[in-house]
Structure 1
């Protein structure tokens, strides 16, 4: 029933938490002009709980809603967000109580900072660069969960031949340059984006570096989101070499490959993801 989640839930300790069926908020991320991520924050109205602090658009979940539906609905109601421009990436329970009450943060991306509209629950809505979030006066619950929600800049290297082979019998071998160009165009259209990494870490991928070998080196690729490295010899050798080069604008290096031999050659600290992690974007 619409609106039946509004109200306080009382736990065994007597503490009140908003949302009879729990609550959810939307962490909406979008790329700025320089490709770095910003998040949409709400300056809470003075009359609200912890008024005057900054947090995520969110609120009570109705009994018939999923946490994703509740978070997206609240962002639309409180910030006027166009729900059709929201791509959900993950969800994570960031607060809970012994009564079973939970607050779920739904992580999502938008292709660019979206227009917003205030309602009575906010005094301001602002797209804030991720690096600036911690300096703001944050709602205590959001401040506690933010370190686990923020992204780390990712340098992603793509074993392109391995990815093509993982797509199955598409006939890519008959026109390897054409199939390569098509794949990389599709990947370019899927970034920038938030990605989930091992150990519950979120990463931000603003571009994907593709390594091409053999006949694929003649593929025509002209998109800054997928810079290309052409291997004179083995693509694996080039990937292993690139993985040792420290990128000044990245905290994490990720190599996308199913090749166990290549994975064994990667420097310590490099994250290896399976091709399905990227093919799932398409």
Structure 2
């Protein structure tokens, strides 16, 4: 039922978290002209919980929803981001409480910095360069989770590939590695970036010297 998740979950220690069935938010990335990435942030309205801080569009999960569905719905309600304009890449539980409550961050990409439309829960919405996110006054929960969510830029070489056009068409994008690290994969751009190459093999996502080796399946997944 729509809206049945609105309300507080109470833990035995007396603390409360918003969302009777948990909560979820959307971390949406889009490419910048220099090859880097920007993250869509919400400046929370003064009247809201932790108002005045910056965080991700998100909110309570309803009983019938997955965390992904809840995060995408909240992004549409709070930022005007439609489901068809983004691609979900991963999800990660970034906060828990003794009540069993969880907050899940859903990571997604957009092909460009989409136009946004704020509702009453936002003072403003902004595409913030990833390297500048932690310079803003962040919501405490998002601030604690951000080091585990930020993506390391990686420049992928297309040299020697049988079908470089297919790889180029899949980039830029967020990639989650098995060790829970996130990469922002791109083919060009300025600034610091880890060098990455695509090879064969099932277990080559380790750093070899200064080059990160990835499988074609990883890049195209």
Distance, in Å, in 2 between the alignment partners of 1:198 and 1:184 is 24
Confirm or deny: 8 A CA contact 1:158 1:257 kept in the other structure: no
Pairing of 1:47-126 with structure 2 (within 5 A): 47-126=47-126
Distance, in Å, in 2 between the alignment partners of 1:31 and 1:44 is 24
Give, in angstroms, the shift of residue 184 of structure 1. 1.9
Give, in angstroms, the shift of residue 67 of structure 1. 0.5
> Which ranges in structure 1 are unaligned for 5 or more consecutive residues?
162-179, 208-223, 226-246
State the secondary structure of the residue aligned to 2:208: coil
Give the alignment's TM-score, normalised by structure 2.
Answer: 0.91
Structure 1 segments of 4 or more deviating over 4 A? 158-161
Structure with bigger gyration radius: 1
Distance, in Å, in 2 between the alignment partners of 1:248 and 1:267 is 21
Bigger helix fraction:
1
Give, in angstroms, the shift of residue 131 of structure 1. 1.1
> Which ranges in structure 2 are unaligned for 5 or more consecutive residues?
none
Bigger strand fraction:
2
The alignment of Structure 1 onto Structure 2 pairs a total of residues equal to 218
Cα deviation digits, residues 206-261 of structure 1 (max 9, x gap):
21xxxxxxxxxxxxxxxx79xxxxxxxxxxxxxxxxxxxxx9621x333322259x
Give, in angstroms, the shift of residue 153 of structure 1. 1.1
- How well do the aligned residues superpose, as a CA RMSD in angstroms? 2.0
Q: Which residue of the other structure, out of 181, 205, 212, is the alignment partner of 1:271?
A: 212
Which residue in the other structure is 2:173 paired with? Answer: 193
State the secondary structure of the residue aligned to 1:26: strand
Distance of aligned partners of 1:206 and 1:273 in 2 relative to their CA distance in 1, 3 Å threshold? closer
Give the alignment's TM-score, normalised by structure 1.
Answer: 0.72
Distance, in Å, in 1 between the alignment partners of 2:212 and 2:166 is 23
Distance, in Å, in 2 between the alignment partners of 1:200 and 1:68 is 18
Query: Higher RCO, 1 or 2 (CA under 8 Å, sep at least 6)?
Result: 2
